[in-house]
Amino acid sequence: MSKREIIKIGHPTLSQKAEPINNINQEIVDLAKDMVETMHQAPGIGLAAPQVNVSRRLITVDLSVGEKKDELIVMINPEILEEEGEMIGEEGCLSVPGIYEKVLRPARIVVRGYNLDEQEIIIEARDLLARVLYHEIDHLNGKLFIDRLSPLKRRLLKNRLKKEMAKSEGKG
């Protein structure tokens, strides 16, 4: 298991549609383990494979940030089956350093995917879990949370983002 570099906004992989996974082999198992370690160490409560520069449909979510083993979700080829209602909440992203904004998302979703044992998993989620799952599935479709903000808000963010990127690059 090893921590991987998290790529930042502007990297082309973050705006690509990730490829489905048709064979859960050792490479995919190793990637998932590395993503969990990378997510916990960031620290983060979610991570998508494109964020570690791998354009495959794999996400990890852990609202406990490693504190509760049974809260860890590893999902292959996740798809949203149902969406219901609306909620607004603040989001951040490990690939968009220093930016935190309110985002409108569905209040309840049902997601289907597969775990590393190739078993189908279906999750009905609300509140923060629904938000993080949707945020990570957006990454698989080349979408960042700031893409869901108004054009005016995105324009106002541009300068802040430049400063934050310079800061985060300065950290090495």
Active site members: 136
* Residue 45 binds ligand K2U, judged by CB under 6 A: yes
Q: Which residue in 131, 137, 140, 149 binds ligand K2U (CB under 6 A)? A: 131
Residue 45's binding partner among Zn ion, ligand K2U, none (Cβ under 5 to 8 angstroms by kind) is ligand K2U
By beta-carbon proximity to ligand K2U, the closer residue of 77 and 135 is 135
* Residue 91 binds ligand K2U, judged by CB under 6 A: yes
Q: Is the peptide bond before 97 cis (omega within 30 degrees of 0)?
A: no
* Residue 44 binds ligand K2U, judged by CB under 6 A: yes
* Residue 93 binds Zn ion, judged by CB under 5 A: yes
Sequence-ordered list of residues with C-beta below 8 angstroms from that of 114, at least 6 positions apart, any chain: 24, 75, 76, 77, 120, 121
User: What whole-number distance in Å separates Cα of residue 162 and Cα of residue 109?
Assistant: 34
C-alpha dihedral over 95, 48, 60, 128, to 10 degrees? 60
According to DSSP, residue 44 is labeled -
Alpha helix stretches (DSSP H) within the chain:
26-41, 127-140, 151-170
Q: Which residue in 135, 137, 140, 146 binds ligand K2U (CB under 6 A)? A: 135
By beta-carbon proximity to ligand K2U, the closer residue of 34 and 136 is 136
* Residue 43 binds ligand K2U, judged by CB under 6 A: yes
Residue 34's binding partner among Zn ion, ligand K2U, none (Cβ under 5 to 8 angstroms by kind) is none
Q: Which stretch binds Zn ion (CB under 5 A): 33-41, 65-73, 92-100, 110-118?
A: 92-100
**Position 107: which residue type?**
A
The sign of the torsion formed by the CA atoms of 67, 164, 54, 109 equals positive
Count the site residues for Zn ion by CB under 5 A.
1
In the complex, which residues of this chain contact Zn ion (CB under 5 A)?
A: 93
